[in-house]
Structure 1
Amino acid sequence: MLLLVPADVLRPRRVDEHFAAEAEVARAAGMEVALVDHDALTEPDGAERAVRAVGTSDTAWYRGWMLRSEQYAAFAAALRRRGVTLRTGPEQYRRAHELPGWHSAVADVTPRAAWTDGADRAEFDRARAELGSGPAVLRDYTKSMKHYWNEAVFIPELDDSDTAWRVALRFLELRGSDLTGGFVLRRFEHFRSAEIRTWWIDGTCTLISPHPDTPQDQPAPDFDPTPIAPLIANLRLPFLTADFALREDGVWRLIEIGDGQVSDRPESTPPEALITLLHNQFRD
């Protein structure tokens, strides 16, 4: 098995410091580690240059920085030409990485959402009307601007079209060329706990950890992901994360799904906990 990780920008023969511990554990477990140039992956026609240090034909996991879905597809194609197959294919990556790919499958356990294709005002108003009145939060297919909560995320009342659009315009300004897909409006819900990050391989929850934003907040001992397991399994995705939080009425709600390859590991969770799972998936 092959683990692909980003190279350090200034020292391209070394692993990016953020992923160095995982790479070290992988090598100790007998996995081969190869470096890829993340910056090249984000450039037009840069995929071939990004993988030129990959010399082993094998099946691979990627553990690295987030990529747009089209960048991941180019990455996968360049690797295939070298005889390397990513365990998560491009279509699977898109479904895990972009909210429209997973939301309908888990609609009963996650806040209601409506989204647009692009950033047109008319499309935004259509999605706003579809969601109905009340408060909402705004993001795009892959990311919110949560550090700008009051100006670019929270919409107090969807029926207030002018205020809602001002929030959308500020969101667009902040996201700029990084905007992915279009607007996503989600019903606002009140939560009383920090988020929990769960890690799933082939539809099975293999690890429960804190969320990277709150690494010292250990998961509640009574948290049980079993009820959502059939929904996750039905997504048929090789490696994903699902984040949960406890709503104020005592119900655990799914907040977010992401591709596990580009999901951050909280600093309080040792790299062995994750890498061993990936290694065992192939060994088994």
Structure 2
Amino acid sequence: MMLVPANPLRPRLPDDHFAPEAHAAREAGITVAVVDHDALTRDDPHRAVATVPAGGVAVYRGWMLRSDQYAAFAEALAARGVSLRTNGDQYRRAHELPGWYHPLAPVTPASTWTIGAERAAFDCARTRLGTGAAVLRDYTKSMKHHWNEAAFIPDLSDSAAAWQIATRFLELRADDFTGGFVLRAFEHFTTAEVRTWWIDGACALIGAHPDTPDDLPSPALDLATLTPLVAALDLPFVTVDLAQRHDGTWRVVELGDGQVSDRPDSISPYDFVATLLDGGLSDDARSRIGR
């Protein structure tokens, strides 16, 4: 079963953003049910899942949820006999950087983080990371579209300037600030990001990043080093965003839970559903969507 957010104006229908995937899933013979995303974010998960059919295994394709909201979502579904393929612990480990960083440390920029948003903790993390430039984010998100004011720290040794960036980051993230500050060593990338999709530790799909949907992946992308590291995470459905460093090395920019990772327009919803839900499709369903 695929679960998608309901359209806020027509709550029996999928949200417009996820309607193409819902349509492709239905054509493949997959049950599609809507959930009330607003109720999930208002900590009312049982209301959110009130129209979900009882029983079965489900994959969520929807807007981002905090880890605690997702855990409550999973519990509310379990009360209806529905099991999410990604459980609450797995979602947190994929969704929040501290959950995946150490296993992927050899292939991603050096990082350190705080618990909370205190200045003293930030300064300790800044010192631990060392010198040079860094990129600031929290456990789940950066403010890369506010690069100079809230993301890029040119010099970690300049404590006042670094804290100014952190303060602006907090202002912009506001109530969405999650976990603590994360400082990542700056690396110079020379390509657009590539979004890769992984099911049970194996890469199932490679495509453009949603921010640059027309920048198709390089044929030089080599996943040989990354594959055993992702497999060791033992996560059922994740995305890994990669970019090529100036020295030609492919580096992990981000790992996220695949259920809340956006699909670029350059990947059709039919190919997406066929590839990412293939393990749960019958031969007849695969034939109906060309797989």
Could you tell me the TM-score, scaled by structure 2's length? 0.96
* CA distance in 1: counterparts of 2:276 and 2:135, whole angstroms: 34
Structure 2, unaligned runs of 5 or more: 283-291
* CA distance in 2: counterparts of 1:225 and 1:6, whole angstroms: 33
Q: CA deviation at 1:278?
A: 3.3
Q: Kindly provide the CA deviation profile for residues 33-71 of structure 1, in whole angstroms up to 9, marking residues without a partner as x.
A: 000000110013x10110001023110000000000000
Q: Kindly provide the CA deviation profile for residues 74-98 of structure 1, in whole angstroms up to 9, marking residues without a partner as x.
A: 0000000000000000000000000
User: SS of the residue aligned with 1:242?
Assistant: strand
Check if 1:120 corresponds to 2:118: yes
| Residues 1-284 of structure 1 aligned to structure 2 (within 5 Å) | 2-44=1-43, 46-283=44-281
Aligned residue identity for 2:110: R
Q: CA deviation at 1:257?
A: 0.1
User: SS of the residue aligned with 1:11?
Assistant: coil
Q: Is the 8 A contact 1:57 1:82 kept in 2?
A: yes
Q: Is the 8 A contact 1:207 1:273 kept in 2?
A: no
Compare 203-212 and 54-63 and name the one that shifted more. Answer: 54-63
* CA distance in 2: counterparts of 1:21 and 1:157, whole angstroms: 45
Q: Kindly provide the CA deviation profile for residues 90-125 of structure 1, in whole angstroms up to 9, marking residues without a partner as x.
A: 000000000000000000000000000000011001
* CA distance in 1: counterparts of 2:220 and 2:161, whole angstroms: 40
* CA distance in 1: counterparts of 2:279 and 2:127, whole angstroms: 45
* CA distance in 1: counterparts of 2:278 and 2:172, whole angstroms: 41
* CA distance in 2: counterparts of 1:216 and 1:280, whole angstroms: 25
Aligned to 2:287: none
Q: CA deviation at 1:226?
A: 2.4
User: SS of the residue aligned with 2:183?
Assistant: strand
Compare 201-210 and 215-224 and name the one that shifted more. Answer: 215-224
Could you tell me the TM-score, scaled by structure 1's length? 0.98
Q: Is the 8 A contact 1:195 1:244 kept in 2?
A: yes
Q: Is the 8 A contact 2:35 2:49 kept in 1?
A: yes
Q: Is the 8 A contact 2:204 2:276 kept in 1?
A: no
Compare 195-204 and 54-63 and name the one that shifted more. Answer: 54-63
User: SS of the residue aligned with 1:254?
Assistant: strand
User: SS of the residue aligned with 1:192?
Assistant: coil
Q: CA deviation at 1:281?
A: 1.3
Q: Kindly provide the CA deviation profile for residues 216-245 of structure 1, in whole angstroms up to 9, marking residues without a partner as x.
A: 001001212122100000000000000000
**4+ residue runs over 4 A deviation:** none
User: SS of the residue aligned with 1:194?
Assistant: coil
Aligned residue identity for 2:203: C
Q: CA deviation at 1:274?
A: 1.7
User: SS of the residue aligned with 1:212?
Assistant: coil
**For this pair of structures, how many residues does the alignment match?**
282
Aligned residue identity for 2:197: W
Q: Is the 8 A contact 1:96 1:102 kept in 2?
A: yes
Structure 1, unaligned runs of 5 or more: none
Q: Is the 8 A contact 1:31 1:279 kept in 2?
A: no
* CA distance in 2: counterparts of 1:117 and 1:249, whole angstroms: 33
Q: CA deviation at 1:147?
A: 1.2
Q: Is the 8 A contact 2:194 2:217 kept in 1?
A: yes
User: SS of the residue aligned with 2:17?
Assistant: helix
